[in-house]
Amino acid sequence: MEEVSNLITRKLETMIKATNQDLIRSKHKAISALFPYAIRLGRRGKQRMADMSLRAAMALGSRRFIWRLAKPLIMGLANTQSSLSLNWLITLASPHVSWHDKPYDGSMVTRWAAAVSAVPYTEEVGKSVVGTLLHIASVDSLRSHIPVGIWTWLEEQPTLPPGCSGRSRGSGGDVVRQVRALGDTEILKSYLLLVWSEWDQVDDRPSGGLAEMQASIREDFGGAEMWGHREDLIKRLDHVLGELDRGLDYLQQHKPSLDSHHIPRAETQYSELKRALLEIGVEAMDALARELPKIIPFGLMILTDTRRTPLDFHVRSASPMSVIRLERTSLFRPATWFVHRFISCLRPPVSSERPRYA
């Protein structure tokens, strides 16, 4: 029997390496029938068949087919301990679960969180976990069951695929509020960097994600000390807007479901977010200019002239032949003058102009 299992596994592996979807599609009934047996082998520490079966389903690209395979795995192991290999399978299968359509309860989220926490990080695992996390967070009845520690996966910032359902659903106002409530600026920034994408729009309904993100920019990313975070967010928005500039034909090559309304609507949303970041940056610099004179001791004056005369000079008696001539009179300026000059160099212009990408 073991020889037969090994033979089947090798054939599955060959189909996957050949990326022959027609061949995989012709064998999908056999793959479905074998999968429960593959799971039993996995529980005994022989996970290759289950691994190859799931990879074949993923190569086929059919969410219904993947879910048909994954459902008994996820449902059957909801309240049980499992091996690392099965945890890995649960992790990879979880993005294909229709979390929003089925009456899942908190135990499913808890089981999923336990599985992904036991799996070593890879880029593939990171994509699966973050995509699933955002999907689960978009479901009102499941959101509160997400363990706090799982949110730290956002900081890995894996590259999510264009068709990631978690990202497309995870920009709602309730999700933004949940992430803000964690009180962790790094997680919040990572979340925004992930959901801001040329492939998806932001929920712009009243009290939706767009309004909550704008509030977060004002309340969570204000102040001079947040300059670096604002810079990271602006760079991401510039990238997204640059990709949108490449046009619908380019985007549809990677996500065919996009329609003609996507680009103008997305450009408007992301331009508003960038404008909010630029404006809060100007306000932060102006506030710093007002506060610095209070920090500097009253009456402190700075000596300067156009030739930057050094201040560490020594007065000596002049020789009878010396002639001293002052070319210019040294100027005394208050410290605030230099603060404003410095800030004027750093301040980003508030403009709707943005770099265009080739």
Per residue in 75-121, pLDDT (tens digit) is: 555 445 556 667 877 888 788 777 877 667 788 888 889 889 988 89
pLDDT score for 4: 59
pLDDT score for 8: 65
Q: What's the pLDDT tens digit per position in 27-80?
A: 666 766 666 666 666 666 666 766 676 666 666 655 555 556 566 655 555 445
Residue 19 has pLDDT above 70, yes or no: no
Residue type, 338: F
Residue 344 has pLDDT above 60, yes or no: no
The span from the CA of 222 to the CA of 8, in Å, is 59
Indicate left, alpha or beta for 41 from its phi (over 0: left) and psi (-120 to 50: alpha): alpha
pLDDT score for 293: 65
Q: Which residues pair with 200 in a beta bridge?
A: 197
- Give the number of other Cβ atoms within 10 Å of residue 299's Cβ: 7
Helical residues (DSSP H) of 163-226, grouped into ranges = 165-169, 173-181, 185-195, 209-220
Rg (CA), the chain: 29
pLDDT score for 11: 67
pLDDT score for 329: 38
Q: Do the Cβ atoms of 143 and 132 come closer than 8 Å?
A: no
Assign 9 a pLDDT band (cuts: 50, 70, 90): low
The span from the CA of 184 to the CA of 348, in Å, is 26
**In the predicted model, what is the mean pLDDT of residues 112-138?**
92
Q: What angle do CA 55, 57, 58 make, to 5 degrees?
A: 65
**In the predicted model, what is the mean pLDDT of residues 204-227?**
92
Is-above-0.85 flag for pTM? no
Torsion sign (Cα): 67, 73, 74, 76 = positive
Q: Do the Cβ atoms of 25 and 37 come closer than 8 Å?
A: no
Q: Which residues pair with 333 in a beta bridge?
A: 302
pLDDT score for 35: 67
Q: What is the dihedral of CA 84, 89, 94, 97, to 10 degrees?
A: -140
**In the predicted model, what is the mean pLDDT of residues 205-231?**
93
What is the DSSP-derived secondary structure letter of residue 183?
Answer: -
